[in-house]
């Protein structure tokens, strides 16, 4: 008998940086997905969370593990909320993995952050090959332990034949959710 | 006989953060002044230069050594040039020393950066008690060596009776230079 | 089809510290075994290799992963070769996992070091649940990558029913090899 | 008016390593002397105190600041007390400054350690150009603060004309104290 894990809610995204095509969790079934949730003005994200995510991308082969960033702004919206500021930040720090901007909700917390009941940033989401949320880690975690957790997800049975209904958490006001990802115009 | 050192050009400042009153180098004669020149999107500034400046402020008594920041934006002006962005950054990183925004020149490099012929950020300026520029350090420097250099300036003869003509490097377009600091409106 | 891995040669041990009973690799079949090969006067072992081995012991549950130290002295024999010196070292540094003293050969390199054709210290051996040598890592390795490698060994099929003939590498002069471990008197 | 500082007791030394000639504090009058007191099996000494002392030697010119080590063994005498073990240790870690072995007293604590009422290792002694003990630092201290303290001693008035009677703390059983340093045969 196996533990029961919930399907990871789809990301609610207003814009993407470092990728030409929008990306959905749905489209990544069959791979392990690591999502680093951050704010560019969050010191722990800049010094620890994002470099660790970059190291995950360097350590595991891309056909097994995909690393995404999620810029979930819940404070100082005016100065870190823009795509231009985020692009400059990612460029200067040389973070090259795709980064989504968490769709604002008009109520402070952005939509994906709300859907996952996150406590703050940095938060790391580990999603298995069946699209299930296996770990949600707030704060810092040792590299060795993280490497071990991701490797476990890589090496376990990843048969994706079973149906795991897609969770829809993005707001109706999102006007382009028909591909699983909610893109605000 | 003593080595000849040039008077440190006055800072050209458009705005101040973390201080109620504008500050001039002229007003700090008699104290050693350490100026950390940075950009908020410069990784080496965030991880090394600014924390080191904060440590200087914690290590040396304020009656002898004053630490100032100088935000000298020469790239990504749109996203890191605003006072609001800088305030949010300093707040999140808990840098509490006064920080000046280097006055833009309309030609890419801001005015103070030009006046000091700086090579980039982070740069640290060490100014002695007579207002002379004693060291201009681009890049990283060991804490021990920096501590020794500052202590030397603290303990050497600081008789300020000699006249050291104030260097005026700020542009004429600065419309409030009459207190030594050039404040753009 | 599976890659072919060699059976890990048994450790040749003159004495044990931090354990009441001698330990053999043979007796650990079914578990992943991590062996940190070190010298107490090797700086890279003290600052990196041994703390990393201790972190492995803290990260993985003992029923799956066993961490051993192997003190393989190949220089300065007189001052780091004794059990008393090793005990004092392990006590002061609080390394609590079992540590074997690699049996001297009378020809400079100790016996286990020779059997594994090691290049020096620190070296880490990763032995799978079937007793096969899966990795032999000389020098430093990132925690994340090591955590991933060990986790892979933990989660792969560990059926030990197949016979993997025990490799006997210890010298005949060892006068107590009948339990797999060669204990010099 | 000046604070009163005591003359630093002379070192009681049984043997020297990394120097051809025995060294006395008396002979170093006119220079600032930094003494790193350590044990080779003390983790904080190996990871912090000794590398910091080596950095002092690299940072300050030798004509102003002299760095000495003092191996003050107060536990595990049998395994770290020998000159041969100490030499191997210093060689492997590449510590090249002169190191004295603190003369044993036959009562646990070695003689210099007793004379200075030290609390343990690592301890750093800062001795000014007049031979006075200006700081005795047990444990860790930030590089910046240490650099500043040493620079202060370098730059203050070092006129040594005043007599500061040599403190004799070494035991009478020391059979060669006539040059200020007590060398046990």
- Which of C46, C47, C84 faces D79 most closely, judged by CB atoms? C84
Smallest CA-to-CA distance from A42 within B82, B92, B91 is with B92
- Which of C55, C148, C156 faces A59 most closely, judged by CB atoms? C148
Report chain B's mean pLDDT, rounded to a whole number.
87
Measured from the Cβ of residue B108, the count of other Cβ atoms closer than 10 Å reads 12
The pLDDT value recorded for residue B183 is: 33
Measured from the Cβ of residue D17, the count of other Cβ atoms closer than 10 Å reads 19
The pLDDT value recorded for residue C165 is: 52
Backbone φ and ψ of B68, nearest 5°: -125, 150
- Which of D147, D152, D155 faces B144 most closely, judged by CB atoms? D147
Measured from the Cβ of residue C9, the count of other Cβ atoms closer than 10 Å reads 20
Question: Per-residue pLDDT for B38 more than 50?
Answer: yes
Question: Per-residue pLDDT for B3 more than 90?
Answer: no
Identify whether B163 is part of a domain: no
Q: What's the Cα-to-Cα distance from C85 to each of C4, C13, C17, C63, C111, rounded to whole Å?
A: 40, 17, 11, 30, 20
Q: Between chains, do B145 and D59 touch, taking CB under 8 Å as contact?
A: yes
Does residue A156 sit in helix, strand or coil?
A: coil
A106: left (phi over 0), alpha (psi -120 to 50) or beta: left
Reported ipTM exceeds the 0.95 cut: no
Choice between C18 and A167, residue whose per-residue pLDDT is larger: C18
Identify whether B6 is part of a domain: no
Instruction: Determine contact, residues D42/D70, Cβ cutoff 8 Å.
Output: no
CA-to-CA distance for D53 and D28, rounded, in angstroms?
17
**Domain span at residue B31?**
22-150
pLDDT digits (tens, 9 = 90+) for B111-120: 999 999 999 9
Identify whether D152 is part of a domain: no
Identify whether D151 is part of a domain: no
Q: What's the Cα-to-Cα distance from C182 to each of A82, C13, C68, C171, rounded to whole Å?
A: 67, 5, 16, 8
pLDDT digits (tens, 9 = 90+) for C1-17: 456 889 999 999 999 99
Smallest CA-to-CA distance from B118 within B24, B12, B46 is with B12
Question: Per-residue pLDDT for C173 more than 80?
Answer: no
Q: Between chains, do A151 and C148 touch, taking CB under 8 Å as contact?
A: yes
Q: Between chains, do B41 and A82 touch, taking CB under 8 Å as contact?
A: no
Residues of D in contact with C89 (CB under 8 A): 41, 79
Q: In total, how many domains does chain C have?
A: 1
Query: Please, what sign has the CA dihedral across residues B84, B87, B92, B93?
Result: positive
Chains C and B touch (3+ CB pairs under 8 A): no
Identify whether C89 is part of a domain: yes
Q: Scanning every residue of chain C, which has its alpha carbon at the shortest distance from the alpha carbon of A55?
A: C144
Query: Residue B106: pLDDT band by 50, 70, 90 thresholds?
Result: confident
Question: Per-residue pLDDT for C63 more than 80?
Answer: yes
The pLDDT value recorded for residue D106 is: 77
The pLDDT value recorded for residue D112 is: 97
> DSSP label at D173?
T
Residue with tokens 């339990």: C179
Query: Residue B181: pLDDT band by 50, 70, 90 thresholds?
Result: very low
Question: Going residue by residue through chain D (185 aa), what tens digit of pLDDT does each one get?
Answer: 456 889 999 999 999 999 999 999 999 999 999 999 999 999 999 999 999 999 999 999 999 999 999 999 988 887 777 899 999 999 999 999 999 999 998 778 999 999 999 999 999 999 999 999 999 999 999 999 999 999 999 998 765 545 455 556 677 544 333 333 333 33
* CATH code of D109's domain: 3.40.30.10
Identify whether A7 is part of a domain: no
Residues in CB range of B156: below 8 A, 6 or more apart: B128, B129, D155
pLDDT digits (tens, 9 = 90+) for A11-65: 999 999 999 999 999 999 999 999 999 999 999 999 999 999 999 999 999 999 9
Instruction: Determine contact, residues B143/B13, Cβ cutoff 8 Å.
Output: no
CA-to-CA distance for B80 and D42, rounded, in angstroms?
47
Identify whether B135 is part of a domain: yes
Tokens describing residue A102: 């968490």
Identify whether B108 is part of a domain: yes
- Which of B47, B80, B89 faces A47 most closely, judged by CB atoms? B47
CA angle C14-C18-C19, nearest 5°? 75
**H helices present in B8-94, as ranges:** 43-44, 50-59, 77-80, 83-93
Chains A and D touch (3+ CB pairs under 8 A): no
The pLDDT value recorded for residue C146 is: 98
**H helices present in chain D, as ranges:** 43-44, 50-59, 77-80, 83-93, 111-115, 143-155
């Amino acid at each position: 008998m196996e533990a029961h894990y919930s399907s990871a809610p789809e990301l609610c995204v207003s814009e993407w940086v470092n990728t030409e095509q929008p990306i959905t969790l749905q489209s990544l079934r069959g791979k392990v997905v690591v999502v680093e949730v951050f704010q560019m003005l969050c010191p722990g994200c800049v010094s620890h969370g994002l470099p660790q995510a970059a190291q995950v991308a360097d350590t595991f082969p891309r056909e097994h593990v995909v690393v995404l960033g999620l810029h979930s702004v819940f404070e100082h919206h005016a100065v870190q909320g823009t795509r231009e500021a985020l692009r400059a930040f990612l460029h200067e720090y040389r973070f090259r993995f795709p980064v989504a901007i968490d769709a604002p909700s008009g109520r402070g917390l952005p939509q994906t952050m709300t859907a996952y009941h996150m406590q703050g940033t940095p938060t790391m989401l580990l999603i298995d090959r069946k699209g299930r949320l296996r770990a949600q880690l707030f704060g810092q975690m040792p590299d060795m332990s993280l490497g071990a957790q991701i490797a476990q997800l890589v090496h376990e049975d990843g048969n994706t034949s079973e149906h795991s209904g897609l969770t829809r958490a993005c707001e109706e006001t999102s006007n382009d959710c028909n591909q699983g990802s909610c893109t605000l115009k």
